[in-house]
Amino acid sequence: MSTSSLRHSAARPGSPHTPQQQLRSANTSFASTTSPGSSFRNEDDAIIFEIGARWLRAGFEGSSAPVCVVGLGPEESRRAGDYRGWIEGDSGARPPSQPINAEDWARDYELWRLDLRQTDIGLVEDKIERLFREAYNQYLLTDTGTSRLVLVLPSLMPHPLLSSLLSTLFSRWRFPTITLLPSAPMSATAAGLRSALVVDLGWAETTTTGLYEYREVTTNRSTRAMKAVVQQMGRLLSNLALQDSEEEVLSNDISVGFKYCEEVTCRLAWCHPDADTEVTEEQSSSVSIPSPENPGQEFIDVPFSRFAEPVEKVLLAPDISEHDLDDEEKSIPLLVYKTLLDLPPDARGTCMARIVFVGGGARIPGLRQRILKEVSKLVERYGWSPIRGKAVERQRERLAELRISTQSNGEKPPVKATTTATSPDDEKSDPSQEEPEIDFVEQKLRRQNKDTPVPVQGILREVESLGAWAGASLTTSLKIRGLVEIEREKFLQHGLAGGTRDSEHPVPDRRSGLRAGDRSSWTLAGWA
């Protein structure tokens, strides 16, 4: 045997193997092409939590949808030794002989309430800790406190609730920083908009927020929301359960289960797209649903038109005049119109053509079209003038009658003189025959921006959105720091009092997210 062959056999390994460089390239191609379901997450990716009054959505940045949606209820709040969830025959429906107050009926399914007079802050902190532990241990499957944390919250959140939330996260986990992002701008971002009117049909309240260039210009709220719709549906089902016993439950009492009522609301609640077309019970087809009295064994037939009554009565309030409504209980069309009226004219024209509906109530069939039609009627009736009253209405009626009479006679309406002395040139000139003045600057701008699309303005139009969580995921994936960056050590020392309350929000730098010379302080921005 030659020397070269001996040297070659001695260098040969005992078992076949693949070179490291080839193995690495093969694995990379396999992960990218052969296995589309496999994904590798960077440890620096932020974890985004959207927190509401009932649900918590969690996921990683860059995703289009959250990984999980976690909620609370009596079953999730059970202690050790509590076997009510496994008791035979427990269908979640209360017997009709045990009506319960509507406010206490939904209390066990809420994470918190905006009315802090009836809220146990310590219980809220325990619920928050349980939801975060469940999201991390069962769905996210990552170490708590190692990744950046981003919270998507409404800007109208009370300070005691915000302080309790941040204290729980900072004290029970070691998050270095927490970033706060407002819900309304994130919903507009998910729709691809910089300016919009965001209508959030949430659980406890409905908020309308006017945004202009990602800034919240004005915000209005109403207590007419999905909680009141579910309660009204519960009263309707309670009366259906007692229709054979010749008695009705009290106006504020409910005798059916919460889960049963919420399921009926999610599946069957709807709204008339047009107020002029009403569907009677004779014209409506019947729907067979489980009996509210015994949902596990019996079924009843209910006209489909009955399931539109709670939505119209609560959210639209057609039978109540405007002057009988409080500022905090305006109907949804009136709330949208009032928010548009509060905006400046240029921002109003942009926002009214970019109306974004989010929240659980936005999924009710026919509701969004009905709101836009009702707002259009308010604009035709009142215009964009905030002046109201009987004298103004009588004046408008006289002008309408005068216009109709002059058009029928073929005469020109009289023009009221605004000055005491007029010149001969003014008497000869006719405004209707004058040629429009030529704006040379406007013509030059149009020639320069010939290929630029003209933005839509001045019409009522709806724009679809993926929601606040998707907008926060998109914003966080751009690696731009938010206005509210709360550090753990500073918050544990001073709490919310350590945040500055500037009248003008600081303009963030692209790299640091803070103003020059102001790296030692943080601001509450929209939560101030």
Average pLDDT on 96-117 reads: 82
Do 257 and 311 lie in a common domain?
A: yes
Asked if residue 426 belongs to a domain, the reply is no
Record the pTM: 0.79
In this structure, is residue 151 part of a structural domain? no
Where is pLDDT greater, at 438 or 50?
Answer: 50
Residue 394, domain member (yes or no): yes
Report if residue 341 sits inside a domain: yes
State whether 308 and 333 are in the same domain.
no
Q: Give the mean model confidence (pLDDT) for residues 237-261.
A: 74
| Beta-carbon contacts of residue 26 (< 8 Å; ≥ 6 apart) | 18
Give all strands (DSSP E) within 257-309, no chain letters.
286-290, 299-303
Q: Classify residue 485 as exposed, middle or buried by CB count within 10 Å of its CB (0-12, 13-18, 19+).
A: middle
Same domain, 385 and 349: yes
- 237: domain CATH number is 3.90.640
Q: How confident is the model at residue 200 (pLDDT cuts 50, 70, 90)?
A: very high
Question: Helix or strand or coil: residue 198?
Answer: strand
**H-assigned helices in 36-120:** 102-105
For residue 148, give the nearest of 515, 513, 525 by alpha carbon: 513
pLDDT at 521: 63
Q: Do residues 244 and 372 both lie within one domain?
A: no
Amino acid 398: pLDDT: 86
Number of domains in the chain: 2
23 found inside a domain? no
Give the pLDDT score at 424: 45
Instruction: CATH number of the domain at 354, please.
Output: 3.30.420.40
For residues 313-333, give the mean pLDDT. 90
Q: Is the pLDDT score of 417 beyond 50?
A: no
Q: Last residue of a domain, which of 399, 429, 454?
A: 399
Residue with tokens 């309660």: 231
Specify the pLDDT at position 201.
96
Asked if the structure places residue 370 within a domain, the reply is yes
Q: Is the pLDDT of residue 386 over 80?
A: yes
Query: Of all residues in the chain, what percent carry a pLDDT higher than 70?
Result: 74
- pLDDT for the residue numbered 298: 86
Q: What is the arithmetic mean of pLDDT over 252-269?
A: 90
Same domain, residue pair 274 and 338: no
Of 145 and 198, the one with more pLDDT: 198
The first and second tokens of residue 354, run together, are 């970019």
Q: What is the mean pLDDT of residues 34-47?
A: 58
Residue 474: pLDDT band (50, 70, 90) is very high
DSSP per-residue string spanning 231-245: HHHHHHHHHHHTTTT
* pLDDT, tens digit (0-9, with 9 covering 90-100), for 177-198: 999 999 999 999 999 999 999 9
The two three-digit tokens of residue 497, written as one number: 């009092």
CA distance to 85, 107, 206, 228, 394, per residue, from 104 (Å):
20, 5, 21, 13, 47
Cα 62 to its chain centre, rounded Å, is: 20
363, 381, 399 - which closes a domain: 399
- Residue at a domain's end among 284, 316, 348: 316
Q: State the residue range of the domain holding 310.
A: 226-316
Q: What is the mean pLDDT of residues 437-444?
A: 74
Q: Are residues 361 and 213 in the same domain?
A: yes
H/E segment holding residue 8? helix 3-11
**Residue among 185, 460, 156 at smallest CA distance from 333:** 460
Q: What is the pLDDT of residues 202-242, one digit of tens each?
A: 999 999 999 999 999 999 999 999 999 999 999 999 888 77
> Going edge to edge, which strands form the sheet with 177-182?
68-71, 55-60, 47-51, 149-153, 177-182, 484-487
| Lowest mean pLDDT segment, chosen from 119-123, 220-224, 345-349, 403-407 | 403-407
Give which of 198, 201, 116 is closest to 164, Cα–Cα: 116
Task: Band the pLDDT of 358: cuts 50, 70, 90.
Answer: very high
Does residue 351 sit in the same domain as residue 213? yes
Considering the domain architecture, whether residues 307 and 233 belong to the same structural domain is answered as yes
- Strand segments, DSSP code E, in 236-276 are 253-254
Q: Are residues 208 and 323 in the same domain?
A: yes
Q: How many CB atoms lie within 10 A of CB 167?
A: 17
Task: Answer whether residue 76 is part of any domain.
Answer: no
Q: Which of 368, 358, 366 is nearest to 199 (CA)?
A: 358
Q: What is the pLDDT of residue 427?
A: 44
User: What's the mean pLDDT when you consider all of the chain?
Assistant: 79
Same domain? For 213 and 345 the reply is yes
Give the count of beta carbons closer than 10 Å to the beta carbon of residue 428: 7
Residues 234 and 309 in one domain: yes
Same domain, yes or no: 248 and 391: no
| 418, part of any domain | no
**Residue 331 DSSP label:** -
Residue 56: partners with Cβ closer than 8 Å, 6 or more residues away: 49, 50, 69, 70, 71, 111, 131, 132, 135
